[in-house]
């Protein structure tokens, strides 16, 4: 019975049954697939586990991050806007949010007062950068990206985010506040017809800002190319979920008197941890939705460990070297793991082990900008060397010297000889020349 129900559900979800019912049916079917995929990933546990990890990192880095933002905003003379922003974020916690906001600001004031010593300052900087790094690792997991940015890029881009982010948010809020105080806006507010509409729109402003922040993070943080449309879909969904969850959580805090009686003084900490966890989970769910929007082929399969046949690995190794060599000959092109994934239509997490094997063998190397180039002169890279990376290398442990049966050993030697005879002494340069028109 369970197998029958499962088959019927699969046909309903992935078949054309709902798509046959015009546009509403197609919309409902697509939405149902996305909801199913997100619930499946949440039940799998990785998104929740990474959200918990981000909560722990947040507790360590919240004061350094806010102090860093305070210093940046103070240089622009708008540092007084930091406290209202923090309070807005913690508003669903009710009166506890105001208390936590004041405590954090007090801690930031202590940091400004020069309390830190040499070791404490190093820890201060480390926790501030590790926060952004943890977010990148979580986003890379969602986007099937196995390789992080190199150290130089991480430091540079993290500092850009921490410098520009607070300033951009404060400037946006300042523009909105100035627009509200204009004569034209006051006339709109005084109008019986337009007043309620303008008031409703102003209440949507925080959620629009959250959507913009989410969209920016989905584009900028993953170490891969994210289309704006996909990031916007994830940002809108994440902003809507965040707004809805804020209302639900605020109601929960108001009526959770029993929690305060049970946990007493720990109730504030417990509630804050739950709220932080929900925020990070919503952010990762939006990122997962953006990934599925850009890669709908993964909706049904989800996150599966790549399993490639030997034939597929051989073709991938040859194709990777071919594309890298062709780009190297044409100086106007460049190849990275992301461009390889886009060209071959294979996730980068599948390509990374093969690229790593080619790099370890000296056939490939990567520049500081992660552009892949041949490891040596292409006329000295034999095709047999490329195939050897995936056919003869990669074993671990005690499997390197097994006791083969004599008949199997002889057959294996014949197969190796047949492969070597097929490619002969041809090199990567020969393959590229053969492919030229």
- pLDDT digits over 76-128, tens only? 555 566 666 666 666 666 666 666 667 666 666 665 545 444 555 566 667 76
Give me the number of domains the chain comprises.
3
Q: Which residue has the tokens 């890279």?
A: 381
Instruction: Please give the average per-residue pLDDT across 44-61, as a whole number.
Output: 84
Contacts of the segment 80-86: beta carbons below 8 A, 24+ positions apart: 81/170, 81/173, 81/174, 82/166, 82/170, 85/169, 85/170, 85/173
Residue 211 and residue 130 share a domain: yes
286 neighbors 218 (Cβ within 8 angstroms): yes
pLDDT band at 288 (very low <50, low <70, confident <90, very high): very high
C-alpha span between 177 and 338 (Å, rounded): 41
The answer on 368 and 251 residing in a single domain is no
Using alpha carbons, select from 6, 238, 239 the residue that is nearest to residue 142.
238
Distance from chain centroid for Cα 240: 19
The confidence score (pLDDT) of residue 390 equals: 86
Size (the chain), residues? 437
**What is the overall mean pLDDT for the chain?**
76
Residues 321 and 174 in one domain: no
Domain boundary among 301, 319, 342: 301
Residue 415 has pLDDT above 70, yes or no: yes
Say if residue 329 is in the same domain as residue 208: no
Q: CB under 8 Å to 23, separation ≥6 — which residues?
A: none
Confidence of residue 199 (pLDDT cuts 50, 70, 90): low
Please give the structure tokens belonging to residue 191: 């109008």
Q: Which residue, of 243, 276, 301, is where some domain finishes?
A: 301
pLDDT of 284: 93
What domain range is 86 assigned to? Answer: 46-301
Alpha helices in 295-331 (DSSP H): 298-301, 310-329
Residues 129 and 267 placed together within one structural domain of the fold: yes
> Is the same domain home to 190 and 250?
yes
Whether residues 26 and 136 fall in one domain: no
Say what the pLDDT of residue 229 is: 93
Least confident of 45-49, 273-277, 398-402: 398-402
366 and 244 fall within a common domain? no
Who wins on pLDDT, 269 or 232? 232
Contact indicator for 47, 281 with CB cutoff of 8 Å: yes
Same domain, 62 and 208: yes
More confident residue, 280 or 69: 280
Q: Model's pTM, two decimal places?
A: 0.69
Condensed to tens digits (0 to 9), the pLDDT of residues 298-312 reads 887 777 766 788 888
For residues 296 and 336, membership in a common domain is answered with: no
Whether residue 290 has pLDDT greater than 80: yes
Counting Cα atoms < 13 Å in the Cβ hemisphere of 330 gives 12
- Judge whether residue 237 has pLDDT over 60: yes
The helix/strand/coil state of 334 is: coil
436: CB partners within 8 A, 6+ apart: none
Last residue of a domain, one of 274, 301, 328: 301
Q: Please report, for the domain that includes residue 365, its CATH number.
A: 1.10.10.10
């Amino acid at each position: 019975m369970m197998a029958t129900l499962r088959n019927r559900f699969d046909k309903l979800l992935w078949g054309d049954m709902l798509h046959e019912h015009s546009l509403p049916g197609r919309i409902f079917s697509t939405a149902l697939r996305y909801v199913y995929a997100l619930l499946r990933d949440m039940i799998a546990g990785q998104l929740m586990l990474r959200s918990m990890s981000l909560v722990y990192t947040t507790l360590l880095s919240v004061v350094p991050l806010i102090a860093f933002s305070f210093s940046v905003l103070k240089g622009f003379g708008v540092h007084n806007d930091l406290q209202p922003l923090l309070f807005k974020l913690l508003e669903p916690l009710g009166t506890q949010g105001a208390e936590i906001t004041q405590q954090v600001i007090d801690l930031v004031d202590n940091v400004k007062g020069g309390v830190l010593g040499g070791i404490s300052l190093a820890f201060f900087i480390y926790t501030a950068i590790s926060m952004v790094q943890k977010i990148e690792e979580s986003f890379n997991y969602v986007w099937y990206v196995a390789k992080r940015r190199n150290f130089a890029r991480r430091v540079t881009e993290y500092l850009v985010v921490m410098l520009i982010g607070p300033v951009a948010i404060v400037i946006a809020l300042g523009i909105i506040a100035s627009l509200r105080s204009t004569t034209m806006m006051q006339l709109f507010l005084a109008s019986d017809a337009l007043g309620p509409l303008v008031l409703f729109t102003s209440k949507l402003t925080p959620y629009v800002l959250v959507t913009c922040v989410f969209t920016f993070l989905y584009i900028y943080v993953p170490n891969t190319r994210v289309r704006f449309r996909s990031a916007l879909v994830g940002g809108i969904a994440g902003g809507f979920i965040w707004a809805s969850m804020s209302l639900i959580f605020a109601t929960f805090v108001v009526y959770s008197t029993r929690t305060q009686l049970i946990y007493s003084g720990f109730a504030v900490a417990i509630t804050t941890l739950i709220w932080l966890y929900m925020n990070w989970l919503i952010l990762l769910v939006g990122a997962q939705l953006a990934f599925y929007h850009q890669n709908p082929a993964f909706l049904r399969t989800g996150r599966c460990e790549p399993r490639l046949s030997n034939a597929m690995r051989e073709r991938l190794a040859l194709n990777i070297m071919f594309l890298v060599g062709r780009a190297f000959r044409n100086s106007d092109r460049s190849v990275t793991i992301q461009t390889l994934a886009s060209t071959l239509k294979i996730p980068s997490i599948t390509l990374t082990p093969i690229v790593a094997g080619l790099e370890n063998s000296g056939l490939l190397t990567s520049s500081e900008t992660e552009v892949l180039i041949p490891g040596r002169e292409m006329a000295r890279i034999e095709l047999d060397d490329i195939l050897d990376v995936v056919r003869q290398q990669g074993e671990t442990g005690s499997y390197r010297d097994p006791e083969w049966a004599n008949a199997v050993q002889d057959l294996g030697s014949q197969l190796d000889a047949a492969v070597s005879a097929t490619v002969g002494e041809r090199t990567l340069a020969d393959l590229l020349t053969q492919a030229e028109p």
